[in-house]
Amino acid sequence: MNGVAWSLEIEIQFYILVPLLALLFAISDARVRRTLVITIMLAAGLISNLLYRNPHWRASIIYYLAFFLAGFLLCDLYLSRKQWTRSFAWDALVLCGWPLVWYMGLKSGHVVLPFVMVLLYLAAFRGKVCSAIFSNRVITDIGGMCYSIYLFHFLVIYAVKHQTWTLHVGQSFWLYYGLQCILIIPWVLLFCGSFFLLVERPCMDREWPRKLWNTIGSRLTSGGTGPIVEASMGAENAHIAESGEAT
C-alpha cells in the first residue's frame, strides 16, 4: 500500500471547491481580498487544532484549508506584482524561516506555517541567492516532477533499501545515512522521472484522452487495412494492364 496516496482524496475535495474558493478573486479591492484570505487562513489554522482528534475531519480539506489558501495568497501577490527587486534581506529571511518549517510544533504549525510558507515562496522570487538557486535548471526539472516523486518515492525507497541496507562504512549513523542516500536517490529519480515523462506530463494536456484514442485508432486502422489496400491496388493495376493488352 502506498503510504502517501491518502492525500489524493483531500486534493479531490479541493478541486471540487475551487470554483467556490475562486470567488475570493471577485473582490476587486486587493487590500480587502487579501485581508479576507489571511483571516480565513488564520481561522482555519485555529479550527484545525480542534479537529485533530477526529480522524474523519483530519482527512478532510477543512483540516488543511489554510495551506491551500496560502497558495491562493501567493498567486494573488505574484500576479498583481509591479516591479520586484531582489534583495539579500529576503535571503536572510529564509535563514530564519526554514528552521521554523522543521521545528515548529503540530498545533502552532497549522496556524503559523502557512504564512511562513508564503514568505519562503516569495523569497524564492525576491532573494538574490534564493532566486539563483531555485531558477537552476536541475532544481526546476526535479520540482516539475515533484508530484510523481511524492507519490512513488516511498515505494522505491522500500524496494531499494532491501538490497542496500547491509552496505555501510564504519559505525557512524551519518555515514550510513549518506551512503544509503547516494544508493537510493538515483533510483527514486530514475523511476519517478520515467513515470513523469510517460504518464504525468502527457496527462497535463486536457485533450489527452481524445489524442490517445485517435492515436490508437489510427494505429489499428493503418495496421489492419494496410495489406488490404495494397492488395486492392495491386489487383487494380493488374486489371488496367490486362485491359491495355486487350486493346
> What CA dihedral angle connects 101, 75, 71 and 19, to 10 degrees?
180
243 domain-assigned? no
Q: Shortest CA distance to 133 belongs to which of 83, 91, 87, 79?
A: 91
Q: Shortest CA distance to 166 belongs to which of 176, 175, 153?
A: 176
- pTM confidence score: 0.72
Q: How far, in Å, CA of 27 to CA of 146, rounded?
A: 32
- Give pLDDT, residue 5: 80
Q: Any bridge partners for residue 73, and if so which?
A: none
Tell me: pLDDT of 225 over 70: no
Q: How far, in Å, CA of 20 to CA of 84, rounded?
A: 30
pLDDT above 90 as % of the chain: 41
Tell me: pLDDT of 222 over 80: no
Sign of the alpha-carbon dihedral angle for 36, 37, 38, 39? positive
User: Pick the residue with more confidence: 126 or 222?
Assistant: 126
- Give pLDDT, residue 23: 92
184 domain-assigned? yes
pLDDT confidence bin for 100, thresholds 50/70/90: confident
Burial of 38 per CB tally in 10 Å (0-12, 13-18, 19+): middle
- What is the pLDDT averaged over residues 213-241? 58
Q: Residue 68, Cβ neighbours under 10 Å: how many?
A: 19
pLDDT confidence bin for 223, thresholds 50/70/90: low
Sign of the alpha-carbon dihedral angle for 185, 190, 195, 197? positive
- Give pLDDT, residue 234: 47
Asked if residues 46 and 66 have their Cβ atoms less than 8 Å apart, the reply is: no
- Give pLDDT, residue 232: 43
177 domain-assigned? yes
Give me the number of domains the chain comprises.
1
Query: Any idea what DSSP says for residue 170?
Result: S
- Give pLDDT, residue 41: 93
pLDDT confidence bin for 185, thresholds 50/70/90: very high
Backbone angles phi, psi at 127, to 5 degrees: -85, 140
Mean per-residue pLDDT of the chain: 84
- Give pLDDT, residue 98: 87
46 domain-assigned? no
110 domain-assigned? no
E strands, the chain, are none
Give the domain extent around 175.
Answer: 137-222
Burial of 130 per CB tally in 10 Å (0-12, 13-18, 19+): buried
Instruction: Quickly count helices (H) and strands (E) in the chain.
Output: 12, 0
Tell me: pLDDT of 244 over 80: no
